[in-house]
Amino acid sequence: MKFSKNVPIYTLHMDTALGGVTLAATDQGLAGVWFDEQRHAPDTTGWIAAPEHPVLRQAAVQLAAYFEGTSQHFDMPLDLSHGTQFQQAVWQALLRIPRGGTTSYGRLGADIGKPAAVRAVGAAVGRNPISVVVPCHRVLGTDGSLTGYAGGLDRKIRLLQLEGASHS
């Protein structure tokens, strides 16, 4: 996933119970949440540090409440426009997985009308730019087993535990 050089990207770094997180926003909404050392994190060169940006502040407050267990939902504008149409369809499908629920890559593919595209769905899930808020951690193997997570399997386990989701 690449951000356009023509679009200003605002950023804020915060500490969470699961480690440091970089937040990114555009004028359209929250565009990124990446754990420190997460796979597929973008190059942040040229991004603008903006700790008072309203979307970044809103995201930081809501993420802090989520990690403390005092909030179960996110309510902020999202900018998912920095992926392909297929990736965007997968990311939108991730938003429909309820808290405490899980799904498989195959079911996600079926949900977007591409049941045979399991590998492509997996690649799109792995490149989800808005970790936690767009809940890619809720995707498990067909048999319910834990599968890869760009932020690390330990974090995936902790996120699922925080939400009360069952996994193998």
Question: Residue 45: how many CB atoms within 10 A of its CB?
Answer: 5
The CA distance from 66 to 72, in Å, is: 6
Q: What share of the chain is helix, strand, coil (3-state, %, to 5)?
A: 35, 20, 50
CA atoms within 13 A on the CB side of 88: 9
* b/e code 65-91 from CB counts within 10 Å (16+ = b): ebbeeeeeebebebbbebbeeebebbb
Of the candidates 97, 124, 136, 159, the residue annotated as catalytic is 136
147 carries an active-site annotation = no
Which neighbouring-strand residues pair with 130?
A: 33
The catalytic site residues sit at: 136
